[in-house]
Amino acid sequence: MPEKIAVIGSGSWATALVKIFAESGNMVSWLVRTKKQADYIVTNRRNPRYLSQADLDLTFIHPTTQAKNALNSADWVIFAVPAAFVQTTVQSLNPQWFNHMQVIVSIKGFVPGTGKIPGTLIREHLELQNNCMVLSGPCHAEEIALRKYTYVTIAGNQADKVNQLQNCLQLPYIKTISNTDPAGVEYVSILKNIIAIANGIADSLQYGDNFRAVLTSNAMREVQNIVNAIAPVQRDYFDSVYFGDLLTTAYSDFSRNRTLGKLVGRGIQVRKALQMMEMVAEGYYASKELHPIIQPLRLHLPVINSVYRMLHLHANPYHEIKLLEQQLQ
């Protein structure tokens, strides 16, 4: 049965989510940032700035700038804003609006200054009784816009809710996968962005597929060790939502984090590279937020620590990758 879904966020990923839920026949209330953007979407059936190639079916999509209007009578609400805006977004919302609503998180970054994954902060602020569900990949918004065959993972602790949301996505090019590890999915979706930056740097420094395969496989071990230490539950990292998502981000030209790495690898100062990016590269902020979390764990993390030094301590990319040559196995 079609559902009423509210999507909070107006970037590329939020646009992709609006598209696939609407195409599946659900009524989608879309909370966007400005009236100008909402008016453009209504007039042109496209997002003017993000994923502008995607046609949007306005029969099922209702853009608004008013949070209460977007959330009114919704069965589900999906948070799909950049991690930097999570805290201000939830602080503008009344927890009472969410009493009878299932909350889904589709954000890939730490909440700045907190060390928290978005699902934790949203649950705490909105005073939710149940953990947030998580909607993840591996997938790029750009390929969804092109209707490329895509796997979408829905993670949650309530099997009936996971199945219900899966049934809301009925498209020939979308396959949904269920998962019971929302926290682990969030952590891996954050860490993989850091690994993508490392790949982009190595690529710009003319390291080939041979080296980057070793870099990535070593980084996978680092991700596994970190997540096992922070959120220790039984999980299979070879499920597509974990290492599949990591590989997509590490190697794809659609990856904004890989793009940031390529700019840094060319010798462009990090601040300048960030200014050149049209969209947020979450891995930059995640590497800073992660650093104090992993220090007490005393894990062997050469790739992740190297990215931190290059992005935040002005370490020379050439020298850092040369050091990695001797540390990778």
What mean pLDDT do residues 277-289 have? 91
Q: Is the pLDDT assigned to residue 278 strictly greater than 90? A: no
Average pLDDT in the chain: 95
Task: State residue 131's pLDDT score.
Answer: 85
Please indicate whether the domains covering 4-180 and 184-327 agree at the CATH topology level. no
Taking only the tens place, the pLDDT of each residue in 130-178 is: 889 999 999 999 999 999 999 999 999 999 999 999 999 999 999 999 9
Q: Which amino acid is at 91?
A: Q
Domains of the chain, by residue range, sit at 4-180, 184-327
pLDDT grade for 260, boundaries at 50, 70 and 90: very high
Alpha-carbon distance of 119 to 70, in angstroms, equals: 20
Phi then psi dihedrals of residue 279, to 5 deg: -125, 165
What mean pLDDT do residues 288-295 have? 96
Q: Which amino acid is at 116?
A: K
Task: State residue 133's pLDDT score.
Answer: 97
Taking only the tens place, the pLDDT of each residue in 204-259 is: 999 999 999 999 999 999 999 999 999 999 999 999 999 999 999 999 989 999 99
- Alpha helices per DSSP H over 205-313: 209-230, 245-251, 256-265, 270-276, 282-294, 302-312
What mean pLDDT do residues 14-18 have? 97
Task: State residue 1's pLDDT score.
Answer: 59
Task: State residue 36's pLDDT score.
Answer: 95
What mean pLDDT do residues 278-299 have? 93
Q: Is the pLDDT assigned to residue 107 strictly greater than 80? A: yes
Q: Is the pLDDT assigned to residue 99 strictly greater than 90? A: no
pLDDT grade for 280, boundaries at 50, 70 and 90: confident
List the CATH code of the domain at 4-180.
Answer: 3.40.50.720
Contact 16, 54 (CB under 8 A): yes
Class of domain 184-327: mainly alpha
Cα–Cα–Cα angle for 139, 213, 183, nearest 5°?
45
What mean pLDDT do residues 48-65 have? 94
